Structure 1
Amino acid sequence: MSSEKVQLKKPEILSPAGSIESVRAAVNAGCDAIYIGGSRFGARAYADNPQGDQMAEVIRYCHRYGVKVYMTVNTLLKEHELQQDLYDYIRPYYLEGLDAVIVQDVGVMNYLHRYFPDLEIHASTQMTLTMGESTELLEPYGVTRIVPARELTLQELAQMRQSTGLEIEVFVHGALCYCYSGQCLFSSMLGGRSGNRGRCAQPCRQRYYLEGEKTAGYYLSPREHCSLEHIGELMSIGVDSLKLEGRMKRPEYVALTTEVYRKYVDLCASLGTGEFSEYLKAHQDMWQEDMRRLAELYNRQGFTSGYMEGKSGVPYENKQGKGDMIAQKRPNHGGVLVGKVTAVDKHMVTYRLERELHAQDVVEFRDAGLCPSYEYTLGEAKRAGELVKARYLKGSRIRTGDLVYRTKDAMLLEELRNKYLQEDPKLSVKMYFTAQMDQPMELQVTVMQNGEKISGRVQGILCQKAEKNPAGPEDVKRVLCQTGGTVFECRSCEVNLQGELFLPVGALKKLRREALEKLQQKLDQRGGREILPECYLSDKPDGASEKEAVHKSREEKKIVSVLYEWQAAMALEAQDISTIYLRMEQMSDQVLRELIRRGAEKGVEMYLMMPLIFRSAVYEAEKKKLEGGKSLYEMTELTGFVVHNMESFVFLTREAGIQPDRIITDANLYTANREAVRWWKEQGVAGSTLPLELTGKECGELTGQDRLEAVIYSYIPLMVSAQCIHRLTRGCAMESGDRDQLLRITDEKKRGFVVFNGCKYCYNIIYHEAPLSLGEEKMELWKQGIRRFRYDFTIEEPAQMREILRSRLPKGQKGHYYLPVE
């Protein structure tokens, strides 16, 4: 057991900080690091993020307590933002000692590594990284840590740990997105508020009607994630950081989640996983109380750790359970059950309590479907078992048997405020004071922080002989240990007096003040840097010559991507199509092989379009095909490949031996600025697809950099999810043989969406029912230098596809061509 204790690694507790108050709450509750957004470029634009000098103060404050600060720059940046604003935005925080930046955009990553080469970069979960293999692309560009997709299982995380030497940060508590992070266009396309720009309007928390059903449900709203029960497994895997979500939540929430995870990580580290498991069995009352407290602050129809347990989205696995990850009935805070209604009359409701209630608690009455009918605030405390009577608002539909939930625990909130938000914690210092005749008195103050000794040493006035009443050690200690009004408290004070000395109290106080100020300054400035020479403007590429070369080309490439075999057959019959992309979700390898041969015989460039999500099970299955000589990737008739993720790129180049110049990146591998295009070009790819969130003008800013293509017709994929609406509502389509069926859902505004089951790789794609149609804008794109135009076919009927192949595009929608995202 002792060896297990030695080997077990204690992961960092990484807490959210959406406000200055939350910073204090996180630090006081025992976090090791915080992640926080500044005034710009963070994925929580609506948090109360610190502005300007406030961020510098946050860095100093956190460093004072040995806490690291990671700044979120995890959105897609437009060309002018990156080139004109990013350097000056990061520079002061870099100087202050910012520990790392969290990045989604490879252009941002490329830029920051070039101009701040010693600044650590963390690859955000918005990059949708599902395997450790992808880190070989990122490590040369300053990435020291990856934040993998939240959908991964414990087994996949263990595999990732084995395959990369980079740090791994795992999301362990808080709100879950329905979509794979970084793959969501839902909010953007419906309201212009892009999740990739930190302004998600959370359409996943809205009600939707399933075709054929009269009642709506919250089919896209996951429960709150809680993986406290998996702490031992995560620590055994060797995860480096445990990330708590909550930059939009109140400081008390930050304090409690930090406190609870700190407690159990420390317990596990001290006991070892075996003893820790036994300890929890013997202390179930403590465990249940901590889980209740977490639920009181925030839960959505309870908690889930289903992704870690493999309950959804795992290719080639049989998932257990149905609907246990989705809060179908309620999308917001669920509170804690405290009682049941026993009687209702015209004016009063009576309910029996199962738990104690406090003054200023908020309780809510709900029916069996968790639909709320009435809530009110208690004026006084009530005991468990007590029958409580309350007047209710006329018209409220409260019935006998309805459930009563507490949605605000006033006493818990007050407890957390008093404990973590009223004042800062004290730093324990050791003092060593020396004094001898005709020499300056000297004081050294020392604090131990993360195993490092930090000291401040100052000298005072010359010591003189005492005429009477010489100073004694206890007299000196009494003065030096009076540290009130500072962030320090004296843990020990050693006094070395040589001779009978006169030591004025004022001089001792001044010495103490100067020593503590010097120590605090050292703590605050830990990690501070000297800036690199500001010569970065000279090497910015303008792409002028490349743009001119593109404009001279008059050749247009008409590209078609297809999902079904019948679509491929129809495309092969068309006369003016130069290139066909074959998607792999629906067609078998045998069908794909035959289509590739047919296309090559007709002189059409044939590309394989790799899966949207490429997890380890798919990677290994495709690798076995290669080893067995049965892989499509080795077909000489193939022109190339289109990739949606870094794992596919690594698989093709490393496992299949494909040259990068046969690979094109798709729109969801965002190239929203020239730096991103440049980065992919450095990886050797043949070209990139313009993101769907750029305007026509913004597309024009990127031309001349590389071979770019624009999607001018497509049903827009709003979400790619490990969750499955078909499985949630009707059972697994793969098991029932109903995998080809498309489901349709509508929102409260009667807008429609089509859900495709990607059963082969176990993901769902939700499409907007109104297609993107840029036929009229094609000429403008042509003038900007774009020569590759793509038509994506997915959920069309044959007649509709036939018309589009004849260049008769439907009216549809314009996406963001004219309307820029915020």
Structure 2
Amino acid sequence: MKVELLAPAGSYESMVAAYSAGADAVYIGGAKFGARAFADNLDTEQMKKAIDYAHIRGRKLYLTVNTLLKQKETEELYDYLLPFYREGLDAVIVQDFGVFQMVREAFPDMDLHASTQMTVTGVRGAAWLQERGASRVVTARELSMEEIRKIHEQVPVEIESFVHGALCFCYSGQCLLSSMIGGRSGNRGRCAQPCRLPYQLYEEDSLLSRDPYLMSPKDMCTLDLIPELVESGIYSFKMEGRMKKPEYTAGITSVYRKYIDQYLNDGKENFMVRPEDRSLLMDLYNRGGFSQGYYQQHNGKDMMSMQRPNHWGTEAAKMISAGRETKWKALEDLNIRDVLELRSAKEKREYTLSQNVAKGAVFSMKTGNGREKNGMLLYRTRNEKLISEIRKTYLDNPYKVGIDGELLLQKKCAAQLQIRYRDIYVSVSGGEVQSAQKRPLEEKDVRKQISKLGQTEFKWEKLQIRMDEGIFLPVQELNELRRKAIEELTEAILQKERKCQNRILQTREKPETQKQTDALFITAQAERREQLEEILVCNKIRRVCLSSLLYPSEEAFLGQASEDVKRCRESGKESWYVMPWIFREEKRNYFLHMEKCRHILEQFDGILVKNLEEIQYLQQISYCGKIALDHNMYIWNREAVSFWQKEKIDWMTLPVELTDQEMRPLSSARREMIVYGYAPLMVTAQCFQKNTTGCRKKRKILHLKDRKGKYFPIKNDCSFCYNILYNSTVTELADQSRSISQIAPESVRLSFTIEDARQTREVLCRYTEVFAEHKNVESPSSDFTRGHLKRGVE
């Protein structure tokens, strides 16, 4: 059984540390297109050096190209990847379907890994990607072991899953929170982590929780689950942490290496995690302890760190005497230069320890300001001894490759050094061995010279020396023989991995732009019944998108959907069904009755999908109607448009993070643009209601209040068990008709979410005046945003 341990690296030093600590592979970012824009990413020469470093050690290196690319950037992609491909890069990790297509076509023999930001949540999505060329799928963090097991059993694709580190509150790839409120997009590797800020949760005027960090999950630790995770089919155990220091990378890698090997060597029955290794991980980083992620539960408050969003540390000392110079009892061994933190409700103070203190010992420290009380705790947030030991073990002494050698020194023959590394064998010859005139060579002197591997990547495991007596060879000849042999061995190792690429990826032709008609096709999307009623009586609306949120249960869908379709037709409108945001295997309650559902779905004029599982599901039931992509199925470039056109997608929704200028290259027939609505900022498996007042299995609207007094609406979709967080301000583009006409979409969409009947009616009137009657209107005086139409994201 083979399991890959995959470590994060935000710098070259972190990569070296990861391999030294036992990583089989490392994922790392280059100068462009990686989802950690603020890491110490590698330039071209550093990346090539990193690829060689990995391959000399028999390890792998994966490059993150897991951001969405704007059109101009796709023109740089081939030249960016080509030197890494030639050097032997093992794989690229991709989110953008345009990038997916370009890499598959330009570098067909390089492995392509589908990023967790593609939000793969089941068998269907994994199979769909594998059929189109993905060699590996990085599963959504929210999957259970059973869901992963089904993928493993039914899809011939490598499975990579996160096993340690930070958890995003939102499904990866579905988050626009940082983008919309601060302009730093997670889809571009620039997330500002607003989810780690304090918020208040309200139901109408009632405060539901006093916990401030309602969107801050604990870090994940799955040491105890290693046997079950391996047996579920996970091939690559992925650890998170590209923004953390090399010591963190080395520390977590060494612990997971230890326990993966323990399971593989000794079996499940002898598997046991030692307390000191848990403590090591806690010391390195934890947020109020760890959770085991979503592998054994769908969500829950015990997965959250609602009191503190960053490193919690460990309980280090307890106050036993308050005063100007307080006395403390050590709860664990403490070390000089450890960082300790004293916490109260109003403040946090840090202190650096000036002495070593044994567990149980009493020590004094000036921390008093008159408000301390006996029983207060000091938390250690930096274990200086642990950090120093990790650095000494893994960073100061990088892992070197063990090689076997044989040196032959025979009179009147050329000196010969043979080296073997795995299945690679090199033999080099030097100067002729002479008879000694004075002092003959001794074996210890020869061994000393040949053993000087110094700054090379190698160390001798075995070095056999066969030499005649009474011989002589100059020291410089021995040194040159060693240097030449190591050089040839290095080249032989790397040559096995390097590739040749001479052809150039052809530039894809720009799709033809359809000339815009005088009146745009206007779509309205409804999530509430009162919105639908207003839409049906508005004769300028030509297409109605009926959200899955309109139907609170399977019975409601089966009983009401057909009637809704009929009413749309009677009012002269197309009817499209909007699939759920997340389509998990065990939550497909609406669609268990496949024949009934197929019959109902085929009554609609088309289906608007939000994820890969839904596309594959529609293919599975032989759905013959039209299929469109919502805005979260990103099309940031013409290559992505081309990809989806090949998939016979009927129309696509333009992305909400691009400017009008950036959308123009995408404008052609069958594009729809959202011009009104509260943008969905997050889709999360966590439930605000459950984590605060308990699960009620009842849909309602809550509000999240931020530090600036903004209120963000939240809907809980109990049918599919996820929450949707909407923007606090509505996107209004009624006064931007000129910019929209230059983008040239075929249709525009009004996306109704929390509006009541009156608000819906007012919006319909305003936008039909603009796009159907060509009138100029002013945007409402109330708070609104134009989204990224003019500002965009970096």
Q: For the superposition of Structure 1 and Structure 2, which TM-score range results when normalised by the shorter chain? A: over 0.9
Cα deviation, 1:533-564, whole Å, max 9, x if unaligned, reads: 23x34x42122xx21xx115445211111112
Q: Using the TM superposition, name which of 799-808 and 38-47 deviates more.
A: 799-808
8 Å contact kept, 2:577–2:601: no
Q: 1:109 aligns with which of 91, 100, 105?
A: 100
Q: 1:74 aligns with which of 36, 41, 66?
A: 66
What's the counterpart of residue 386 of structure 2?
Answer: 412
8 Å contact kept, 1:559–1:789: yes
Matched position secondary structure for 1:649 = helix
What's the counterpart of residue 531 of structure 1?
Answer: 501
8 Å contact kept, 1:440–1:461: yes
In 2, Cα distance between equivalents of 1:383 and 1:439: 65
**Residue 514 of structure 1: CA displacement?**
1.1
* 1:639-650 alignment, distance < 5 Å: 639-650=605-616
The structure-2 alpha-carbon separation of the partners of 1:230 and 1:810, relative to structure 1 and needing over 3 Å to count, comes to farther
The two structures have a TM-score, normalised by structure 1, of 0.90
What's the counterpart of residue 331 of structure 1?
Answer: 309
What's the counterpart of residue 154 of structure 1?
Answer: 145
**Residue 752 of structure 1: CA displacement?**
1.5
Partner letter of residue 595 of structure 1? D
The structure-2 alpha-carbon separation of the partners of 1:375 and 1:552, relative to structure 1 and needing over 3 Å to count, comes to closer
The structure-2 alpha-carbon separation of the partners of 1:692 and 1:454, relative to structure 1 and needing over 3 Å to count, comes to same
Matched position secondary structure for 1:532 = coil
8 Å contact kept, 2:565–2:603: yes
* 1:731-742 alignment, distance < 5 Å: 731-734=694-697, 739-742=698-701
The two structures have a TM-score, normalised by structure 2, of 0.93
Partner letter of residue 706 of structure 2? D
In 1, Cα distance between equivalents of 2:473 and 2:132: 58
In 2, Cα distance between equivalents of 1:447 and 1:632: 59
What's the counterpart of residue 421 of structure 2?
Answer: 447
What's the counterpart of residue 697 of structure 1?
Answer: 661
The structure-2 alpha-carbon separation of the partners of 1:635 and 1:389, relative to structure 1 and needing over 3 Å to count, comes to closer
What's the counterpart of residue 171 of structure 2?
Answer: 180
8 Å contact kept, 2:516–2:745: no
8 Å contact kept, 1:122–1:144: yes
The structure-2 alpha-carbon separation of the partners of 1:114 and 1:306, relative to structure 1 and needing over 3 Å to count, comes to closer
What's the counterpart of residue 529 of structure 2?
Answer: 565
8 Å contact kept, 2:537–2:571: no
**Residue 602 of structure 1: CA displacement?**
3.0
In 2, Cα distance between equivalents of 1:439 and 1:353: 69
* Gap runs ≥5 in structure 2: 768-778
**Residue 476 of structure 1: CA displacement?**
4.6
What's the counterpart of residue 658 of structure 1?
Answer: 623
In 2, Cα distance between equivalents of 1:485 and 1:821: 44
Partner letter of residue 639 of structure 1? D
The structure-2 alpha-carbon separation of the partners of 1:815 and 1:633, relative to structure 1 and needing over 3 Å to count, comes to farther
In 2, Cα distance between equivalents of 1:718 and 1:238: 32
Structure 1 position 123 matched with structure 2 position 123 = no
Matched position secondary structure for 2:135 = strand
In 1, Cα distance between equivalents of 2:592 and 2:359: 61
8 Å contact kept, 1:301–1:327: yes
What's the counterpart of residue 390 of structure 1?
Answer: 365
Q: Using the TM superposition, name which of 417-426 and 777-786 deviates more.
A: 777-786
**Residue 401 of structure 1: CA displacement?**
2.2
Structure 1 position 624 matched with structure 2 position 599 = no
What's the counterpart of residue 298 of structure 1?
Answer: 285
**Residue 10 of structure 1: CA displacement?**
3.1
Cα deviation, 1:542-594, whole Å, max 9, x if unaligned, reads: 22xx21xx115445211111112232222112211111111113412112222
Matched position secondary structure for 2:63 = strand
Q: Using the TM superposition, name which of 407-416 and 430-439 deviates more.
A: 430-439
8 Å contact kept, 2:531–2:756: no
**Residue 473 of structure 1: CA displacement?**
6.3
Partner letter of residue 240 of structure 1? Y
What's the counterpart of residue 737 of structure 2?
Answer: 778
8 Å contact kept, 2:33–2:188: yes
In 1, Cα distance between equivalents of 2:144 and 2:127: 21
**Residue 56 of structure 1: CA displacement?**
1.5
Q: 1:745 aligns with which of 697, 700, 704?
A: 704
8 Å contact kept, 2:28–2:63: yes
What's the counterpart of residue 774 of structure 2?
Answer: none
**Residue 440 of structure 1: CA displacement?**
2.5
* 1:342-381 alignment, distance < 5 Å: 342-345=320-323, 347-367=324-344, 372-381=347-356
In 2, Cα distance between equivalents of 1:724 and 1:500: 82
In 2, Cα distance between equivalents of 1:601 and 1:454: 75
Structure 1 position 58 matched with structure 2 position 50 = yes
In 1, Cα distance between equivalents of 2:436 and 2:348: 80
Matched position secondary structure for 1:733 = coil
Structure 1 position 768 matched with structure 2 position 759 = no
What's the counterpart of residue 316 of structure 1?
Answer: none
What's the counterpart of residue 790 of structure 2?
Answer: 818
The structure-2 alpha-carbon separation of the partners of 1:311 and 1:513, relative to structure 1 and needing over 3 Å to count, comes to same
In 2, Cα distance between equivalents of 1:430 and 1:462: 23
What's the counterpart of residue 521 of structure 1?
Answer: 491
Partner letter of residue 671 of structure 1? I
In 2, Cα distance between equivalents of 1:552 and 1:181: 35
Q: 1:685 aligns with which of 649, 654, 668?
A: 649
The structure-2 alpha-carbon separation of the partners of 1:803 and 1:810, relative to structure 1 and needing over 3 Å to count, comes to same
**Residue 62 of structure 1: CA displacement?**
1.7
What's the counterpart of residue 574 of structure 2?
Answer: 605
**Residue 189 of structure 1: CA displacement?**
0.3
The structure-2 alpha-carbon separation of the partners of 1:650 and 1:745, relative to structure 1 and needing over 3 Å to count, comes to same
What's the counterpart of residue 693 of structure 2?
Answer: 730
In 1, Cα distance between equivalents of 2:128 and 2:614: 12
8 Å contact kept, 1:10–1:266: no
The structure-2 alpha-carbon separation of the partners of 1:606 and 1:821, relative to structure 1 and needing over 3 Å to count, comes to same
**Residue 435 of structure 1: CA displacement?**
4.6
In 1, Cα distance between equivalents of 2:455 and 2:660: 58
What's the counterpart of residue 90 of structure 1?
Answer: 81
**Residue 802 of structure 1: CA displacement?**
1.0
Cα deviation, 1:589-648, whole Å, max 9, x if unaligned, reads: 1122221122123332111111100111134x455311xx32155454310100000000
* Gap runs ≥5 in structure 1: 1-8, 313-321
Partner letter of residue 128 of structure 1? T
In 2, Cα distance between equivalents of 1:175 and 1:413: 20
* 1:461-500 alignment, distance < 5 Å: 461-464=431-434, 476-497=446-467
Cα deviation, 1:56-109, whole Å, max 9, x if unaligned, reads: 1111222221221111110011011112x1112111111211111111111111
Structure 1 position 23 matched with structure 2 position 21 = no
Partner letter of residue 294 of structure 1? L
In 1, Cα distance between equivalents of 2:189 and 2:277: 32
Matched position secondary structure for 1:169 = strand
8 Å contact kept, 2:316–2:331: yes
The structure-2 alpha-carbon separation of the partners of 1:551 and 1:186, relative to structure 1 and needing over 3 Å to count, comes to same
Matched position secondary structure for 2:643 = helix
**Residue 374 of structure 1: CA displacement?**
2.0
In 1, Cα distance between equivalents of 2:600 and 2:114: 32
**Residue 117 of structure 1: CA displacement?**
1.7
What's the counterpart of residue 585 of structure 1?
Answer: 549
Structure 1 position 231 matched with structure 2 position 226 = yes
The structure-2 alpha-carbon separation of the partners of 1:352 and 1:554, relative to structure 1 and needing over 3 Å to count, comes to same
Structure 1 position 218 matched with structure 2 position 213 = yes
Q: 1:594 aligns with which of 560, 563, 566?
A: 563
What's the counterpart of residue 678 of structure 2?
Answer: 715
8 Å contact kept, 1:586–1:760: no
In 2, Cα distance between equivalents of 1:470 and 1:363: 63
8 Å contact kept, 2:516–2:746: no
Matched position secondary structure for 1:630 = helix
**Residue 269 of structure 1: CA displacement?**
0.3
